Structure 1
């Protein structure tokens, strides 16, 4: 029977999928057979979330990762249920806390004669999925699995959630990958903090730096979140936005500010043609116009020449900025350029050899 490794986190969007990609590539390079799935799906491409769930139930992240690494369909582990307001409401009103009908199939799958690694990505946080009987702790205990956490590191207060997770998981907890560390702090964390965590019984298998690329969002995602109208360059929506700038200053100040930024989304009023033109000459991935009025023809022509998508929204600048800020670091890893970077990040900063030795 194979071994089951669960990748979890104390909070959503901590970098689980990026780590799974790195682990999958590592196992593939060593020709170690593995299967992959998410017991509780959290993302499904379907028009009506209240409709019947598709069969087989496979999370979008699982499909994407499988396509990137070339994992065969028979190596995909189907989800038991889908985490959403609609499914949660049904469970709540029916006081139903047990896993769904697909749970027996999951049990059978993980307990068969497969000689390899069952790699499972769990829901957003330690407790997410309790209503479905599919939280990280519940799954780890049921399948006697080992758990590796990916944890966002901000400062020493970040240790508290790790200690709480360690207590809840008990012997299932094998360690952590610290993620999103400020690059300038990387060496200090490795030299000074990691030994202290080990003294607390928390094994550290890697320290990964904060990545603007992995936190970035596509122009297409911004169009969707903002319900924006695309004025030009609709074929360039795959561009990645890493930073946000607001064009609300004088044009001279704006030009100096824009030069220091890279891969920006620039939000400015529809009447600020001077700012708009200055933004187009900088590292701008899309220009988002707020307020009344339409852009001048010369702006559209210049945007088309430089292949910079021009978007128009009905919301005010403040509301627009809030939506964009919420998007950074809170989108799924569904772009090949991010996947390629995740491979390198995990390879360079995680000790996967030591991790899998600990699974024996």
Structure 2
């Protein structure tokens, strides 16, 4: 029987990045590694397979169809299409896939949902599945503030109350200004109740989406800068202020996307004189030619969208980088982040 390690955390915690790093570290140690994502988020038009599943299938060379590696796709309004009558069938479907993925593996990495409670009405939430699989759980938490620690401790206690073994925790994507507080305050508090196996600092190349990912999420039209869509976006600024207050603010934000109306040529031109990765012009309003000319000179993509500014912000608010198969630079970064910042020997001991 393989060791089953269930990676549990909220959206944006970096479960997939940790899965990539652990898979490569375990393989390096001589283990045969498999991957399972029981539930993937569905509902995106034109997308039939979860990107994480495509990536992990190729990375690990899994010779199984996508529908085995991730047999169920959840959506926010799933209960309206009659799935409540199929609870037993869904559980059976997932367990059948689970059995197949265990074959010829020493370690099976199971990646949880965007939130552990998702699909609890169908009895296939992460807590229930971890118990069904007999898995040990590794809790992944992105440290943002004190509530992040509360979330980690709450998940830990929930699992232990359900008699599910918690291997430990990883604090992931910790921003540099929070590292000292994480080590000096959060770590001791967590270790009073559980085991901390790693603190992984944020790396912008892993966490920050590219201009192309913004463009795809917004279904926007690239007016100039098609050759620069691989630039990363570390921050988003909404250009609704006047020019006098805009310049000092824009200078403080590096590698940013500036979202503003196409009729705000003054603000767009000001943004182009600061560290800007992309201009996103809303409302379907084409900018003045001077904006496009200056953007081309600066190699800054300009993207036109037909949504208003508020709707545009909503679409990119939770956007994070999607690692693609063959992106060796980012995959190796993920591997090094896990290897250099986590106690792998202790983790292997505990699972």
TM-score of the superposition, structure 1-length normalised?
Answer: 0.82
Given candidates 174, 178, 185, the residue that maps to 2:167 is 174
Q: Distance in 2 between matches of 1:148 and 1:21?
A: 14
1:351 partnered with 2:343: yes
CA deviations 1:31-85 (Å, max 9, x no partner) are 2111112011225876277xxxxxxxx6320211343x35343598622311124
Instruction: Give the alignment of 1:39-188 within 5 angstroms.
Output: 39-43=38-42, 47=46, 59-67=50-58, 69=59, 71-74=61-64, 78-85=69-76, 87-92=78-83, 94=85, 96=87, 98-100=89-91, 102-109=93-100, 112=103, 114-170=104-160, 171-188=164-181
CA contact (8 A) 1:15 1:179 kept: yes
Given candidates 228, 243, 260, the residue that maps to 1:268 is 260
Q: Which moved more, 1:19-28 or 1:227-236?
A: 227-236
Q: Structure 1 unaligned runs (5+)?
A: 50-57
Give the match for residue 17 of structure 1. Answer: 16
1:203 partnered with 2:195: yes
CA contact (8 A) 2:224 2:292 kept: yes
Q: Distance in 2 between matches of 1:2 and 1:70?
A: 16
Q: Distance in 2 between matches of 1:320 and 1:266?
A: 11
CA deviations 1:237-261 (Å, max 9, x no partner) are 3332111223344546544443332
Closer/same/farther in 2, CA of residues 252 and 341 from structure 1, 3 Å limit = farther
What is the aligned residue count?
345
Q: SS of the counterpart of 1:20?
A: helix
Closer/same/farther in 2, CA of residues 327 and 48 from structure 1, 3 Å limit = closer
Give the match for residue 3 of structure 2. Answer: 3
Deviation at 1:318, TM superposition (A): 4.2
Deviation at 1:291, TM superposition (A): 4.8
Q: Distance in 1 between matches of 2:80 and 2:244?
A: 53
CA contact (8 A) 1:220 1:238 kept: yes
Q: SS of the counterpart of 2:113?
A: coil
Closer/same/farther in 2, CA of residues 33 and 92 from structure 1, 3 Å limit = closer
Q: Distance in 2 between matches of 1:120 and 1:268?
A: 41
Q: SS of the counterpart of 1:147?
A: strand
RMSD: 3.1
Closer/same/farther in 2, CA of residues 60 and 44 from structure 1, 3 Å limit = farther
CA contact (8 A) 1:98 1:132 kept: no
1:220 partnered with 2:212: yes
Closer/same/farther in 2, CA of residues 94 and 75 from structure 1, 3 Å limit = closer
Deviation at 1:205, TM superposition (A): 0.4
Q: Distance in 2 between matches of 1:41 and 1:148?
A: 19
Q: Distance in 2 between matches of 1:48 and 1:249?
A: 37
Q: SS of the counterpart of 2:35?
A: strand
Closer/same/farther in 2, CA of residues 322 and 29 from structure 1, 3 Å limit = same
Q: Distance in 1 between matches of 2:184 and 2:305?
A: 48
TM-score of the superposition, structure 2-length normalised?
Answer: 0.84
Closer/same/farther in 2, CA of residues 59 and 253 from structure 1, 3 Å limit = closer
Q: SS of the counterpart of 1:266?
A: strand
